[in-house]
Amino acid sequence: MKQVRFLKTFRPWHVGVVYDVLEGDRWTGYRGPKGVPQDTARDLTRDGVCRDAVVFRAQHHYARISARKVRAMAELVRGKQADEALNILRYQPHRGARMLEKVIKSALGNAEDLRTRNIGQLRVVDARVDGGPMFKRMRPRARGMAHIIKKRTSHIRVELE
């Protein structure tokens, strides 16, 4: 008789808890929170849509630009094909577009390193820009006062699928 082990796994894009099922040392699939078998090749995203589990990520931490300036560029490319997103960003006159373009190219490079066959069909499923830490500088003002200048940074994250 085979011994079946359930390993509890938390996946951020999945609703609830997923159990990896091992029979002996062989992985046999996923089980949902109530032991219901799930499709081994697909997982649920945050919005409940099924998608392939293979996601290629790239991130630029501590980018020396405000997150507010890059978010507008991220909204332009979210949901587009990767090469179409690069063409859109190439003709944008913003510095944030250059940074986002580099992160998308890096994610494409990660996919290429793992020998992905359908690089032309990859699309940007998630483009997030979060605020990072701030450099605080003092600016002298009149009558001996000083104002704080916040030099903002951001974290740019891109996921291709």
Q: 30, 38 in Cβ contact below 8 A?
A: yes
Q: Among residues 52, 70, 91, which one ends one of the domains?
A: 52
Per-residue confidence (pLDDT) for residue 87, from 0 to 100: 96
Q: Mean pLDDT, to the nearest integer, of 12-17?
A: 45
Assigned domain for 37 exists:
yes
> Which runs of E-coded beta strand occur in the chain?
4-9, 18-23, 26-31, 37-38, 42-44, 50-52, 56-63, 124-140, 146-160
The whole-model pTM stands at 0.67
Higher pLDDT, 105 or 8: 105
Residues 83 and 156 in one domain: yes
46, 69: one domain: no
Residue 141 lies in a domain: no
Q: Is there a single domain that holds both residue 44 and residue 70?
A: no
23 has pLDDT over 50: no
Greater confidence, 21 or 56? 56
Which of 85, 67, 73, 72 has its CA nearest to residue 123? Answer: 85
* Segments in the chain forming alpha helices (H): 67-77, 82-90, 95-113
Number of domains comprising the chain = 2
Task: Tell me the residue type at 112.
Answer: E
Mean pLDDT for all residues in the chain: 79
Domain span holding position 102: 56-135+146-160
Determine the pLDDT at residue 11. 47
| pLDDT exceeds cutoff 80 at 67 | yes
